[in-house]
Structure 1
Amino acid sequence: MSLSKFFILCVLNQRPMHGYEIAKTVEDTTQGCCSPTPGALYPVLKEFEAGGYVTAHAESVGGRQRKVYTITDKGREAFQVAVKAWAEVGACVTAGSEGACDTSTCR
């Protein structure tokens, strides 16, 4: 799972959000390191919805319609798997920066 997809699931794991809020929260959470554009965000959300990782429902706010996305149990499971995988990557990067990366653990 890419980092941008990981961060999208990460923020949805906190609570349901609409697209702009997801993008803003990812940007804030990553201190600007990952800032998904609408052109990148919405195809991922559509992919997640088609795969059963999130659900979406329409909400009317101030006369405007927007989709609110909610992570599903399947999405939470995928997020937990990704947390473990990215933790392994982080450990390998840290070990590598210290000159002690065991390549057998860096898949």
Structure 2
Amino acid sequence: MTADKTDDDSYLDTSYWNGMIKMSLSRLFILRCLFEEPMHGYAITKRISELTSGCCAPTEGSLYPALNEFQKKGYVTSESRTVNGRERKTYKLTDRGEEAYRTGLEAWEETAEALLEAKKELELSG
């Protein structure tokens, strides 16, 4: 097999691209949810799933590390409460987190505009 040829057709598979998009956007959608209101982890995942029709809902294995990183860097705070005998940690966006959310939206807006323009060019050429 040469460097130019491969048996891997992952770039031809929509699920590959959806996975890449999901990984890239999940942190932005976490901030989006917390911009709406303080939430606990399960509510964040559920809300992201609603917002993206299931496309970008993070798994528990990716949600909590992202929330911990956001908290460590001052983008979110958390408060623990006991609800029905279970401890629930509710996360809240800080002013710094809101600034990060706005910055992320601006960056994605630029990217989305470029992608839409590329799609128009592709449609015109074909």
- How big is each residue's C-alpha offset from its partner over 1:2-56, in whole Å with a ceiling of 9 and x where there is no partner? 3110000001100000000001101111111112110010000000000000000
Match of 2:42 in 1: 20
Q: Which has the higher helix share?
A: 2
Which segments of structure 1 move beyond 4 Å, counting only runs of 4 or more?
Answer: none
Match of 1:105 in 2: none
Match of 1:86 in 2: 108
Match of 1:95 in 2: 117
Counterparts of residues 47-66 of structure 1 (less than 5 Å) = 47-66=69-88
- How many residue pairs match? The answer is 100
Q: Distance in 1 between matches of 2:30 and 2:24?
A: 10
Secondary structure of residue in 2 paired with 1:85: helix
Q: Which has the larger radius of gyration?
A: 2
Gaps of 5+ in 1: 101-107
- Normalised to the residue count of structure 1, the TM-score between the two structures is 0.90
Q: Which amino acid aligns with 1:71?
A: L
How large is the RMSD of aligned CA atoms in angstroms?
1.3
Counterparts of residues 66-85 of structure 1 (less than 5 Å) = 66-85=88-107
Gaps of 5+ in 2: 1-22
- Normalised to the residue count of structure 2, the TM-score between the two structures is 0.77
Q: Distance in 1 between matches of 2:57 and 2:77?
A: 22
Counterparts of residues 6-17 of structure 1 (less than 5 Å) = 6-17=28-39
Q: Which amino acid aligns with 1:82?
A: G
Give the superposition deviation at 1:63. Answer: 1.2
Match of 2:63 in 1: 41
Q: Percent identity?
A: 46
